[in-house]
Amino acid sequence: MSENPVPAPDGARAYDGDGDEGDGPDDGTAQGAVGCLLALVGGTAAGVFALPRAAYSIDGGFEAEARDWSVILVELPLVLLLGLLLPPLAWAAATRWLRPWAALLVCAAALALGLWGVAAVWQPRQPPGPVEGPGI
Protein backbone atom coordinates (compact mmCIF):
# COMPACT_ATOMS: atom_id res chain seq x y z
CA MET A 1 0.00 0.00 0.00
CA SER A 2 1.16 3.47 -0.79
CA GLU A 3 1.42 6.02 2.01
CA ASN A 4 0.36 8.79 -0.36
CA PRO A 5 -3.37 9.59 -0.27
CA VAL A 6 -5.41 9.25 -3.41
CA PRO A 7 -6.18 12.71 -4.85
CA ALA A 8 -9.81 13.75 -4.93
CA PRO A 9 -11.43 13.85 -8.38
CA ASP A 10 -11.98 17.21 -10.14
CA GLY A 11 -9.81 19.16 -7.68
CA ALA A 12 -12.25 18.72 -4.76
CA ARG A 13 -10.84 18.30 -1.28
CA ALA A 14 -11.01 14.84 0.19
CA TYR A 15 -12.64 14.50 3.60
CA ASP A 16 -9.97 13.59 6.15
CA GLY A 17 -12.40 12.51 8.86
CA ASP A 18 -11.37 14.82 11.67
CA GLY A 19 -14.44 17.02 11.37
CA ASP A 20 -12.93 20.43 10.78
CA GLU A 21 -13.02 22.14 7.44
CA GLY A 22 -10.15 24.58 7.95
CA ASP A 23 -7.11 22.35 7.66
CA GLY A 24 -4.98 24.53 5.45
CA PRO A 25 -1.23 24.45 5.10
CA ASP A 26 -0.86 27.42 7.44
CA ASP A 27 -3.20 26.10 10.17
CA GLY A 28 -0.46 24.10 11.90
CA THR A 29 1.96 26.98 11.55
CA ALA A 30 -0.44 29.34 13.30
CA GLN A 31 -0.98 26.87 16.14
CA GLY A 32 2.77 26.39 16.47
CA ALA A 33 3.31 30.15 16.59
CA VAL A 34 0.67 30.48 19.31
CA GLY A 35 2.39 27.68 21.25
CA CYS A 36 5.75 29.50 21.03
CA LEU A 37 4.11 32.74 22.12
CA LEU A 38 2.50 30.96 25.06
CA ALA A 39 5.88 29.51 26.05
CA LEU A 40 7.33 33.02 26.04
CA VAL A 41 4.45 34.41 28.09
CA GLY A 42 4.60 31.50 30.55
CA GLY A 43 8.35 31.79 31.01
CA THR A 44 8.03 35.53 31.59
CA ALA A 45 5.20 35.03 34.09
CA ALA A 46 7.21 32.40 35.97
CA GLY A 47 10.23 34.70 36.04
CA VAL A 48 8.17 37.63 37.34
CA PHE A 49 6.71 35.32 39.97
CA ALA A 50 9.87 33.49 41.06
CA LEU A 51 12.72 35.98 40.85
CA PRO A 52 11.48 38.33 43.61
CA ARG A 53 10.86 35.34 45.88
CA ALA A 54 14.38 34.01 45.27
CA ALA A 55 16.14 37.39 45.38
CA TYR A 56 17.41 36.96 48.94
CA SER A 57 18.79 33.49 48.17
CA ILE A 58 20.53 34.85 45.06
CA ASP A 59 21.89 38.01 46.74
CA GLY A 60 22.75 36.30 49.99
CA GLY A 61 22.14 39.21 52.34
CA PHE A 62 24.98 40.57 54.45
CA GLU A 63 28.33 39.35 53.07
CA ALA A 64 26.45 36.71 51.05
CA GLU A 65 26.08 34.57 54.17
CA ALA A 66 22.58 33.38 53.19
CA ARG A 67 23.28 32.56 49.54
CA ASP A 68 21.54 29.29 48.75
CA TRP A 69 23.00 27.54 45.72
CA SER A 70 20.21 24.96 45.62
CA VAL A 71 17.72 27.75 44.91
CA ILE A 72 19.98 29.22 42.23
CA LEU A 73 20.95 25.98 40.47
CA VAL A 74 17.94 23.70 40.98
CA GLU A 75 14.72 25.27 42.23
CA LEU A 76 14.66 28.49 40.18
CA PRO A 77 15.41 26.72 36.85
CA LEU A 78 12.66 24.17 37.60
CA VAL A 79 10.13 26.95 38.25
CA LEU A 80 11.16 28.69 35.02
CA LEU A 81 10.92 25.39 33.14
CA LEU A 82 7.41 24.89 34.52
CA GLY A 83 6.40 28.30 33.23
CA LEU A 84 8.03 27.61 29.88
CA LEU A 85 6.50 24.17 29.26
CA LEU A 86 3.09 24.21 30.94
CA PRO A 87 1.21 26.69 28.68
CA PRO A 88 2.27 25.12 25.34
CA LEU A 89 1.47 21.63 26.63
CA ALA A 90 -1.93 22.80 27.85
CA TRP A 91 -2.47 24.50 24.46
CA ALA A 92 -1.56 21.34 22.56
CA ALA A 93 -3.90 19.24 24.69
CA ALA A 94 -6.77 21.74 24.71
CA THR A 95 -6.81 22.49 20.97
CA ARG A 96 -7.65 18.87 20.25
CA TRP A 97 -11.10 19.23 21.84
CA LEU A 98 -11.79 22.96 22.24
CA ARG A 99 -11.96 26.09 20.14
CA PRO A 100 -8.81 28.29 20.18
CA TRP A 101 -10.32 30.96 22.48
CA ALA A 102 -11.30 28.29 25.00
CA ALA A 103 -7.87 26.68 24.70
CA LEU A 104 -6.29 30.03 25.62
CA LEU A 105 -8.45 30.13 28.75
CA VAL A 106 -7.32 26.61 29.61
CA CYS A 107 -3.68 27.69 29.17
CA ALA A 108 -4.15 30.71 31.43
CA ALA A 109 -5.85 28.56 34.06
CA ALA A 110 -3.11 25.90 33.85
CA LEU A 111 -0.39 28.51 34.30
CA ALA A 112 -2.23 30.14 37.21
CA LEU A 113 -2.76 26.78 38.91
CA GLY A 114 0.86 25.80 38.31
CA LEU A 115 2.19 29.00 39.86
CA TRP A 116 -0.28 28.67 42.72
CA GLY A 117 1.04 25.16 43.37
CA VAL A 118 4.61 26.45 43.31
CA ALA A 119 3.68 29.20 45.78
CA ALA A 120 2.10 26.63 48.08
CA VAL A 121 5.16 24.37 48.10
CA TRP A 122 8.24 26.48 47.31
CA GLN A 123 9.41 28.60 50.25
CA PRO A 124 12.91 29.97 49.57
CA ARG A 125 14.75 31.67 52.40
CA GLN A 126 13.63 35.24 53.07
CA PRO A 127 15.43 38.08 54.90
CA PRO A 128 14.92 38.21 58.63
CA GLY A 129 11.89 40.14 59.77
CA PRO A 130 11.85 43.01 62.25
CA VAL A 131 11.13 40.63 65.16
CA GLU A 132 14.37 38.66 64.70
CA GLY A 133 16.48 41.73 64.04
CA PRO A 134 20.15 41.77 63.15
CA GLY A 135 21.26 41.09 66.74
CA ILE A 136 23.91 42.90 68.72
pTM: 0.68
Domain layout of the chain by residue ranges: 33-121
Which of the two residues, 61 and 59, has the higher pLDDT score? 59
| Residue 47, burial from CB neighbour count under 10 angstroms (0-12, 13-18, 19+) | middle
- What distance lies between CA 7 and its chain's CA centroid? 40
Asked whether the predicted pLDDT for residue 122 surpasses 70, the reply is yes
Mean pLDDT over all residues of the chain?
Answer: 79
Asked whether the predicted pLDDT for residue 135 surpasses 90, the reply is no
How far is the C-alpha of 57 from the C-alpha of 65, rounded, in Å? Answer: 10
